[in-house]
Structure 1
């Protein structure tokens, strides 16, 4: 990386949201009729979902305009064309399809498998909930992680319990499949539900495709049987999680960034990351377009990120340039992401001379005394968010080398081209 020679100033357009694209792909696949998804994200994660749905008999095509056209199967997948269905390290794909795979024909098995890291990512709680709802499902290796096998034949439905403290994607997976159950699906959350904004996003996308669910204070969630998704044209929002790196660039350089295609009306919780930057002294316009102007000095912060965990790595790097120690809390779910993100950030920020105290679900991050940062090669652990977060450090510090930069293809294939365009090629103002 090459440090910039002053504040960056740019207006940024971003690709579509991974979280919304994969939700909309699945719901369009289950729907009656044709759907067109406008401006979807095309990345490793969404293309794994795309290809998996095709393996289950869904007619999904990519148009010349970059849209996804989906001919829905009316809630009934075909027997898989291949087994196992390979889904890389896409958490949304494996979790969403584990719940929906029971909609394959009776007697058919759907097996989902991925890379080595996927075989370490827990899915036991989702399998347990599905079994309670009458589905024949198992972890093939018996260790509560993929590969998973799901027997087709439908979703009987009923009541189930689900832990809320591992991943909100388990809940989303159950909710999305629930309309095609034989009886109402009632889910009771055990403990506190993390990442609630993602459940709100799920409800919003389900509503857009014609299905309603009842959310009683994130404790009891119910979907009435007999509802059906309806095909439609659907515009995918820009990705708010990926927007955080560009807003961070303004924060750490004292510059300004405007997000041209993301604003306060976003259905994504991560759009509120700008409000966290406001607490650090940034000037934030949270309107039709989100805009951030960085301060001369960033303030240290103590903040709970349980609701927006995908922003945590970005904020950890920003905190390395604050005026004192910052504590980031509510990070337990980071242990079971693409890598153990808590350990990974600790390892790599430490290389830069930053002090990091790591706990089960927090960091305390202390910038080095007198700005004595160190050059370092940054490992990315095959985690797209590690690479993009440390691109922010590279705007400020000489000697930052990011290893395996291509891992960004998981959610943002042209990240580096856009980063250069917006912050290096454009004239500095």
Structure 2
């Protein structure tokens, strides 16, 4: 992996925020579930590593996807199912948890046997929710000591499903994609207070745009009629609040970026970033608390933000699931920001942050091969007193491959170091 040297500088200019990665996954999958030879168009797509993983996975389940280059790094996808069923599908999810957890249940409907592979930390991420369902329904599966590769043979059946509220919402989304296509009706029962509800809202909203109806009873019971059909659609993916958060926070730290493309009416959970910024700007105490259970992807950039709120003590709580992302994000952001001179204390399920006026920099930090850590540290660099070296900066390719090009276009100063010296 490469290393760049970033010189502290204020950012100024215009940024068109990339399309939502979460919505892109969902729209591509919904389009792929339409009847054979029905054409859907999904526009405003960036071919990040994660989105490419979903595209390749869907193609391996009998779908044809044509990629048409549009402006800059944006693509239009022409999607149609060519085969209703295949004997064997081999799907490499690389490091995309969404691809893996969304496509596992779908694969049981379109392939006699499916092998799922992955790399990095994805190979270790839990799939127990699906394994319990497979055991209950008699679906054959095998893995390697609980790790990928995973082989599945058999098809899901309609009926009642149980999902724990403290697991990834990706499992619930995978079932919501699949159950409408079964012959009978189904219900999903969620135990406890569901985390990451915003992602389920995105799933149900995208399903609705492709003709699929789901009844949501306060996020505790989801009722899905069987024998539904996905309708082909022309779908434009909206801009991503998760990615916009990096530039919105940069503005709060002294930059002057015109952030373009966000929808005020968006259902994205990470739209919460606007409310948090407003809270801090109107805060009348020196204490602030953030419940991260619904906004886990915002934690790295929020940690940067709160590290630079001089005199403010912040507690980020209910963030334990961040330990099982592309990195252990709680540990990664705490250790790397502390290297820059911040004051973070790592808790089992969160962070305590004592804000400072500035960060010192003058050291080497790492993304820990995590795209959100890389981008958060690049924004932190704008308020350092000295240059920083950022290792494994290419981790951005997972979600926002053009991040550093955009960063340079608005005044970010960096150059790649020669690792051979």
Conservation of the 8 A alpha-carbon contact between 1:327 and 1:363: yes
State the match for 1:115 in structure 2.
119
Are the equivalent residues in 2 in contact too, given 1:30–1:73 (CA < 8 A)? no
CA deviations over 1:261-312 (Å, ceiling 9, x no partner): 1121112111221111111118xxxxxxxxxxxx9x9976311121111011
1:116-135 to 2 correspondences below 5 Å = 116-132=120-136, 134=137
| Structure-1 separation of matches of 2:361 and 2:383 | 12
Alignment deviations for residues 112-165 of structure 1 (CA, whole Å, 9 cap, x no partner)? 111031111111113323544x3615351242x43222214x431101211110
More strand by share: 2
Given that residues 384 and 408 in structure 1 are in contact (C-alpha distance below 8 angstroms), is that contact kept between their aligned partners in structure 2? yes
Counterpart of 1:34?
A: 39
Query: Match for residue 101 of structure 2?
Result: 95
Match of 1:343 among 322, 325, 331: 331
Separation in structure 2 between the aligned mates of residue 421 and residue 299 of structure 1, nearest angstrom: 36
- Once the two structures are superposed, what CA deviation does each residue of 1:76-133 show, in whole Å capped at 9, x if it has no partner? 342335x3x211100100000111110124xx2101111031111111113323544x
- Is the 8 Å Cα contact of residues 298 and 321 (structure 1) preserved in structure 2? no
Indicate if the aligned counterparts of 2:13 and 2:257 stay in contact, CA closer than 8 A. Answer: yes
State the match for 2:56 in structure 1.
Answer: 51
Q: Following the alignment from structure 2 to structure 1, what is the Cα–Cα distance between the partners of residues 348 and 291? A: 14
**8 A Cα contact 2:158 2:186, kept in partner:** yes
Give SS of 1:192's match.
coil
- What is the distance in 2 between the residues matched to 1:338 and 1:418? 23
Residues 387, 77 of structure 1: CA spacing in aligned structure 2 closer, same or farther, 3 A cutoff?
A: farther
| Contact 2:142 2:152 (C-alpha < 8 Å) held by counterparts | no
Work out the CA distance in 2 between the residues paired with 1:197 and 1:389.
Answer: 22
State whether structure 2 residue 136 is matched by structure 1 residue 148: no
Q: How does 1:348-387 map to 2 (within 5 A)?
A: 348-367=336-355, 371=358, 373-387=360-374
Q: 1:212-361 maps to which residues of 2 (within 5 A)?
A: 212-253=213-254, 255-281=255-281, 301-323=288-310, 324-361=312-349
The answer on whether the counterparts of 2:315 and 2:350 sit within 8 Å (CA) in structure 1 is yes
Q: Which residue of 2 aligns with 1:291?
A: none
Number of residue-to-residue matches in the alignment: 400
Q: CA deviation at 1:35?
A: 0.5
Provide the residue aligned with 1:80 in structure 2: 88
Question: Shift of the alpha carbon at 1:381?
Answer: 1.4
1:53 deviation in Å? 1.3
Is the 2:363–2:388 contact (alpha carbons within 8 Å) kept by the matching residues of 1?
yes
Cα distance in 1 for residues equivalent to 2:349 and 2:191: 19
Contact 2:24 2:237 in 1 (8 A): yes
Question: Aligned to 1:280, what secondary structure does the other structure show?
Answer: helix
* Structure 1 residues 93 and 72, CA gap change in structure 2 (3 angstroms): same
User: Within 1, Cα distance between the matches of 2:329 and 2:114?
Assistant: 30
Residues 135 and 155 in structure 1, CA contact (< 8 A), matched pair in contact too: no
Q: Which residue of 1 aligns with 2:403?
A: 415
Conservation of the 8 A alpha-carbon contact between 1:127 and 1:137: no
Change (3 A) 1:77 1:259: farther
CA contact (8 A) 2:160 2:187 kept: yes
CA distance in 2, matches of 1:371, 1:256: 18
TM-score, normalised relative to structure 2: 0.90
CA contact (8 A) 1:126 1:162 kept: no
Q: What is the distance in 2 between the residues matched to 1:237 and 1:114?
A: 28
In structure 2, the residue corresponding to 1:278 is in which secondary structure?
helix
Q: Aligned with 2:46: secondary structure?
A: coil
Tell me, yes or no, if the aligned pair for 1:35 and 1:72 is still in contact at 8 Å: no
2:80 to 62, 71, 77: 71
> How much is the aligned-residue C-alpha RMSD, in angstroms?
2.2
Structure 2: how far apart are the matches of 1:39 and 1:278? 30
Measured in 2, the distance between the counterparts of 1:269 and 1:135 equals 36
Change (3 A) 1:214 1:135: farther
Give CA deviations for 1:322-350 in whole Å, capped at 9, x if unaligned.
Answer: 12221111212101111111111121112
What TM-score, normalized by structure 1, do the two folds share? 0.88
The corresponding residue for 1:17 is: 20
Does the aligned pair in 2 maintain the 1:281–1:299 contact within 8 Å?
A: no
* Distance across 2 between alignment mates of 1:277 and 1:302: 13
Q: Which structure has more RCO (C-alpha within 8 Å, separation ≥ 6)?
A: 2
SS class of match (1:31):
coil
